[in-house]
């Protein structure tokens, strides 16, 4: 079991039998093990059939295989818009 709070720019892969207790912010998350905590991904989250998720997911793209155990909320975020104030 791993306990952490991380912000990663790369891909996070959680294979079975890994059990992760964490809030993570990543580019891409590929989960086939267990995770308890919030998963936030800038690009996408892939959840494989062997995965067990207990927590919320925030991502623009979510891929779920048949058989996933998911207990939480999912929010599909849009690209953040930047507001630029122009002065003349």
Please check whether residue 53 lies inside any domain of the structure.
Answer: yes
* Phi, psi for residue 19 in degrees, rounded to 5: -120, 120
Number of domains present in the structure of the chain: 1
Examine the pLDDT at 7 and tell me if it is beyond 80: no
User: Domain range for residue 34?
Assistant: 2-67
Residue 78 counted as domain residue:
no
Query: What is the mean predicted confidence (pLDDT) over 78-88?
Result: 48
What pLDDT is stored for residue 87 in this prediction? Answer: 53
φ/ψ (deg, to 5) at 78: -95, 165
The DSSP call for residue 67 is T
Domain annotation covers residue 77: no
Q: Given a cut of 50, is residue 86 above it in pLDDT?
A: no
Q: What is the DSSP letter of 28?
A: E
**pLDDT for residue 11:** 86
pLDDT in tens, 18-77: 899 988 888 899 999 999 999 999 889 999 999 999 999 999 999 999 999 999 999 997
């Amino acid at each position: 079991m791993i306990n952490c709070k991380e912000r990663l720019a790369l891909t996070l892969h959680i294979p079975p039998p890994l059990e992760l207790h964490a809030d993570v912010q990543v580019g891409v998350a590929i989960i086939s093990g267990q995770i308890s905590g919030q998963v936030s991904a800038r690009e996408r989250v892939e959840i494989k059939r062997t995965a067990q998720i207990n927590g919320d997911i925030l991502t623009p793209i979510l891929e779920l295989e048949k058989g996933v155990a998911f207990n939480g909320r999912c929010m599909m975020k849009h690209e953040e818009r930047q507001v630029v104030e122009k002065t003349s």
